[in-house]
Amino acid sequence: MKLATWNVNSLSVRLPQVLDWLAAQQASGAPVDVLALQELKMTDDKFPIAAVEAAGYQAQWFGQKTYNGVALLSRTVGSDVVKNIPGFDDDMARVLCASYPSALGTDNGDEIDSGTHSAAQREAAQAVRVIGAYFPNGQEPGSDKFEYKMEWLTALRRWVKDELSRHPRLVLMGDYNITFDDLDVWDPVGLRDTIHCTEEERYHLRALIALGLHDSLRLFAQPPKSYSWWDYRDFGFRRNRGMRIDHILVSNALKPLVTGCHIDKTPRQNARPSDHAPVVVTLA
């Protein structure tokens, strides 16, 4: 099973690149099963469902005008869909969650007694719960938007904890707008305590990890200075002045099944690229 997350910074502009990238993955022999997209920047009626279906994908989407907007593209139909964080009043479209069937770990234990468990329970145990999220940017420490980011992170954690209790096989992926540590920042000294790099934000990221989640990328050796976002300005990508702010966290139950994780910088080299690159994880 292959999952990926990509902040496309306008799906209207990036749709051809998304379809090209999905086709390239398929041509490589390992098609993407679930792709989480962020920053659609479109209302729901504008979502290009026909083009997505023509490419062989189903979709859930949750958009809004101008800003935000998220989608889950998948090869199978998602079920038990949730939009935004339950119980957290939010006028921004940031979160989409759905369950997908999988044959993961079928030769790896996970004994489920067919006599005492219903078919629905067995399916729930085998399904992978996927949360795609566009975390708030926060703009600047001390701002109203930063305060909103903190409240959103608290609400997200409360909900993810609850989801984990019902869905042990869980993936939380998206644009977190937070770096874990200095390794994730091209200039950790110059950018100390600036947005994406503050201790307050990183506290919330570690608190998510403490729920029983794992940073997929760091389960594997990576090239030095691996980033997922580069500023459009000042030749950020060419100079590799970037940050790693897009993450795929996997639950304890999924961790043993993860076989690889990488950042695919290829689409960042397109003409008119998104400022973010996709992050990809594979599970067996």
Partner DNA sequence: ATGCCTCAGCTCCTGAGA
Place of tokens 């719960």: 129
Beta-sheet pairing, 170-175 with 128-134? parallel
Minimum gap (Å) between residue 43 Cβ and DNA? 7
Minimum gap (Å) between residue 231 Cβ and DNA? 6
Minimum gap (Å) between residue 34 Cβ and DNA? 21
CA 92 vs CA 63, 76, 195, 204: distances in Å:
9, 27, 20, 20
**In this complex, which beta carbon is closest to DNA, that of residue 35 or of residue 277?**
277
Minimum gap (Å) between residue 136 Cβ and DNA? 7
**In this complex, which beta carbon is closest to DNA, that of residue 225 or of residue 272?**
272
Determine which residue in the list 25, 275, 282, 283 makes contact with DNA, applying CB under 7 A.
275
Tokens of 120: 């629905």
Query: Is 177 among the residues that bind DNA (CB under 7 A)?
Result: yes
Query: Rounded to 5 degrees, what are φ and ψ at 240?
Result: 50, 45
Under 8 Å between Cβ of 60 and 80:
no
CA 203 vs CA 153, 238, 244: distances in Å:
10, 31, 16
| Exposure on the CB side of residue 160, measured as CA atoms within 13 A | 28
Query: Angle at Cα 251 formed by Cα 249 and Cα 253, nearest 5°?
Result: 145
Task: Name which of 69, 71, 64, 54 is nearest 19 in CA terms.
Answer: 54
**In this complex, which beta carbon is closest to DNA, that of residue 123 or of residue 215?**
215
Determine which residue in the list 21, 47, 57, 229 makes contact with DNA, applying CB under 7 A.
229
Query: Is 187 among the residues that bind DNA (CB under 7 A)?
Result: no
Query: Is 41 among the residues that bind DNA (CB under 7 A)?
Result: yes
- Residues numbered 48-87 forming contacts with DNA, rule: CB under 7 A: 65-67
Query: Is 137 among the residues that bind DNA (CB under 7 A)?
Result: yes
What number of other Cβ atoms are within 10 A of residue 20's Cβ? 15
**In this complex, which beta carbon is closest to DNA, that of residue 10 or of residue 222?**
10
Stretch that binds DNA, among 9-17, 51-59, 158-166, 197-205 (CB under 7 A): 9-17
Contact residues for DNA, defined by CB under 7 A: 7, 9-10, 12-13, 39, 41, 65-67, 136-137, 139, 145, 175, 177, 195-196, 229, 231-234, 243, 245, 272, 275
